[in-house]
Structure 1
Amino acid sequence: MDDQNLFNLLALLKVDGVGDVVGKKLLHSFGNASAIFKAKNTQLALVDGIGSVLLKKLKDKTIFQKAEKELDYIKKNNVNVSFFQDQNYPERLKHCFDSPILIFTVGNIDFEKKKMISIVGTRQITSYGTDFCRKLIEDLAPLDPLIVSGFAYGVDIVAHQAAMDYNLQTIGVLAHGLSQIYPRTHKKYMAKMEENGGFITEFWSDSNPDKEKFVRRNRIVAGMTEATIVIESADKGGSLITANMANEYNRDVFAVPGRVTDKYSQGCNNLIKTQKANVLTNAADLIYMLNWDIKEKPKNIQKQLFIELDPNEQKVYDFLQKNGKELLDIIAVQCEFPVFRMSGILVNMELKGVIRPLPGKLFEVI
């Protein structure tokens, strides 16, 4: 995007009352921000949501001074800007009706990655949540997913750290501008995240992390990925808002179950109980439900000459070796495993490179 178009878009977004929904209606009607500012009031009034008050605000010249200041910050700090109609805008987020017209990013972010998941949860993460989060990301690492979270205390930062530990790209979605970082104690993680991932925000550089901005931030977390995972949550909290948004965007939602007496499992248990989330007990659940292509060669893993199989995997391997390709349900019956457990065993064997899936839920030995 050239500087003039960006300047006009920034000015449009600085008009009090022009949010993402009204802004998109204006852009759809007039083609670009420059044409909006040149349009007559009679033309603007034909757009749904434009009343007399907003008409006056669209003629406020101070918005251009503010836009010029922000454009100067963007250029001096090498901030990347993505317009919602551009190719470099997160594909899934484009299809959310209230997605930001502009997002500002820093780092090395690959928005074209196919496997993208959000991991959210309480800021008061327990050892149970920490262990589960790290194990989940470790087991998903061979599939090279992109991990999105909110860079907050608790589940967020554990997810980011685990992603970095396993060399996965990770993105922090911020509830403030790029001229600062919140919480400040997480500043030490920024450089490493920007090497393989980075930060996204819809807020201007001087925006502070006000309470209402965290809710707005959550729609980006939910909208840009194919699934949202809630690790731990009390019966109320921002992660539940994110889960509800993900459901509204028709995304998959997963929740980690816990004991009914555990405070930070109540939110997850309620999501599962009300059928707003799938049960997540391990990486195999996620891989199976998302139908991720496990035939892709795992990253940085060489095929071993001698692969260790546990007794259950060996039983399945021997069956397929003897009988050739077979349906999942038949394998489960013949090997005497419940179907839900059979799915997890097959996923693990695929990750080890000893079997492969075929169309129609068939599997065969490699």
Structure 2
Amino acid sequence: MKKRELLIYLNFIYLQNSLILDFCENLDMENFFDLDRKIFNKLSKKNYDKIFSPKNLESFKYYKEKIIKGSYKVSTIYDKDYPENLKNIYDKPALLFYKGEIEEDDKYAIAFIGARKCTDYGKWATKKIVEGFKDTNIRTVSGLAYGIDAISHKVSLDNGIKTIGVLGCGIDKIYPKRNKFLYDKMENEGLIISEFPLGTEPISYNFPRRNRIISGISRGVCVIEAKEKSGTMITTNFALEQGRDVFCLPGNINSIYSKGCNKLIQEGSKLVMDASDIIDEIEDFKNLKTKKTILNLDLLDKDSVDVVKYIIDNPSSSADDISINLSLPIEDVSYILISLELKDYIENIGNNEYVSKGD
């Protein structure tokens, strides 16, 4: 059994990933089954029996066929396409099953994590930040769950941004079922990965393990909303242990979904308001900066042009600010703002404050 096939076998019998990595580091994997059995004396009887079980070895023949028939791709730590950012993390996955394409530029990735029961503010902020990567080569990463995960994947796909989903179950399982439309689109336009053997159900134990890959495959993690004790905070702890940058969306101090973020900011994580806060902080992202859309103002009347130019020079302007400073009636300004928003020149960021969508 070749070493690549051996890794698939050891994963198939649910051998601990750390033990597989230990074998890779200390044993001759090309001749694994020909090694003196005394070498395995330190193994528990349970693990020894798992590895050398004739029944497991026979079942593996059918498992290999299942991989081939299902067109599931496999990347192991021995392969050139193994994701760059995962190579040096603690307890890196010995192998990954995947759908889509693993590309060299996947190393330019930022993870989005947050509450499943996210607020409207969290949804809006995720959309705003993710859209800021539109004209860069930056990828997004998340866990294909409800809430912030699903929103970050969907907004990425809608804007032509490659997005990577990391599963807490076998890659042949779609969980949650309601995200099937995302799964189907991502396997064609993005990347879906899992370290778990085919057929693995989405049990609770798997998700904390999945989270180390979400942070590990990324250069940084953007925390949108999080309770003080949550799966999101587990991922954040992995990110800090892996030396990844952590970015946090500030939130209402009265919201349980902002307590985790606000605490992380208090402890030194970078406050994030838009994509540029992330791009400017990560050295490798600086050369991938967003090219802002050039707005064609020739199609607008004079008052509308004046309003757009004022908002470009004065981001987060309100209708009252514009009315006072441009000496325009408030009812005219309100009409112009609605028209400009419909034409995609400006965006209402909340509290009736506006920003430009280009230069």
Fold shared by both chains (TM-score > 0.5): yes
Identity of aligned residues (%): 30
Aligned to 2:7: 9
Aligned to 2:231: 238
Instruction: Give 1:80 shift.
Output: 0.9
- Amino acid corresponding to residue 6 of structure 2 in structure 1: N
Asked if residue 130 in structure 1 is aligned to residue 132 in structure 2, the reply is no
Instruction: Give 1:35 shift.
Output: 1.9
Aligned mates of 1:9, 1:294 — CA distance in 2: 37
Q: 1:31 aligns with which of 22, 28, 33?
A: 28
- Checking the alignment, whether the CA contact within 8 Å between 2:137 and 2:288 is kept in structure 1 is no
Aligned to 1:247: 240
Aligned mates of 1:52, 1:178 — CA distance in 2: 30
- The 3 A distance-change label for structure 1 pair 267 and 55 is same
Aligned mates of 1:278, 1:300 — CA distance in 2: 23
Instruction: Give 1:103 shift.
Output: 0.4
Aligned mates of 2:82, 2:133 — CA distance in 1: 25
- Checking the alignment, whether the CA contact within 8 Å between 1:21 and 1:97 is kept in structure 2 is no
Aligned to 1:329: none
Aligned mates of 1:36, 1:214 — CA distance in 2: 31
Comparing 196-205 with 104-113, which one deviates more in the overlay? 104-113
Aligned to 1:60: 53
Structure 2 unaligned regions, length at least 5: 299-307, 316-354
Asked if residue 93 in structure 1 is aligned to residue 86 in structure 2, the reply is yes
After the TM superposition, which residues 152-191 of structure 1 pair with which residues of structure 2 at under 5 Å, given as runs?
152-191=145-184
Aligned mates of 2:132, 2:63 — CA distance in 1: 42
Aligned to 1:317: none
After the TM superposition, which residues 179-258 of structure 1 pair with which residues of structure 2 at under 5 Å, given as runs?
179-258=172-251
Asked if residue 44 in structure 1 is aligned to residue 76 in structure 2, the reply is no
Q: 1:278 aligns with which of 260, 270, 285?
A: 270
Aligned to 2:332: none
Give secondary structure in 1 for the equivalent of 2:92. coil
Instruction: Give 1:23 shift.
Output: 1.1
- Amino acid corresponding to residue 24 of structure 1 in structure 2: L
Aligned to 1:311: 313
- Checking the alignment, whether the CA contact within 8 Å between 1:11 and 1:66 is kept in structure 2 is no
Residue deviations 1:91-148 (CA, integer Å, cap 9, x gap)? 1111112011110001234243342011010000110000000000111212231111
C-alpha root-mean-square deviation of aligned residues, in Å? 2.9
Aligned mates of 1:303, 1:93 — CA distance in 2: 40
- The 3 A distance-change label for structure 1 pair 161 and 188 is same
Aligned mates of 1:284, 1:20 — CA distance in 2: 37
- Normalized against structure 1, the TM-score is what? 0.77
Aligned mates of 1:268, 1:303 — CA distance in 2: 35
Instruction: Give 1:196 shift.
Output: 1.6
Aligned to 1:328: none
Structure 1 unaligned regions, length at least 5: 314-347, 354-366
Aligned mates of 2:50, 2:106 — CA distance in 1: 40
Residue deviations 1:1-24 (CA, integer Å, cap 9, x gap)? xx85443222223456x3222211
- Checking the alignment, whether the CA contact within 8 Å between 1:110 and 1:197 is kept in structure 2 is no
- The 3 A distance-change label for structure 1 pair 69 and 138 is same
Residue deviations 1:280-313 (CA, integer Å, cap 9, x gap)? 1222211111134545585796798999683369
Instruction: Give 1:72 shift.
Output: 1.1
After the TM superposition, which residues 83-122 of structure 1 pair with which residues of structure 2 at under 5 Å, given as runs?
83-122=76-115
Instruction: Give 1:27 shift.
Output: 1.6
Comparing 167-176 with 63-72, which one deviates more in the overlay? 63-72
Aligned mates of 2:192, 2:31 — CA distance in 1: 31
- The 3 A distance-change label for structure 1 pair 237 and 8 is same
Give secondary structure in 2 for the equivalent of 1:172. strand
Instruction: Give 1:217 shift.
Output: 0.7
Aligned mates of 1:246, 1:134 — CA distance in 2: 22
Give secondary structure in 2 for the equivalent of 1:119. strand
- Normalized against structure 2, the TM-score is what? 0.78
- Amino acid corresponding to residue 198 of structure 2 in structure 1: S
Give secondary structure in 2 for the equivalent of 1:69. helix
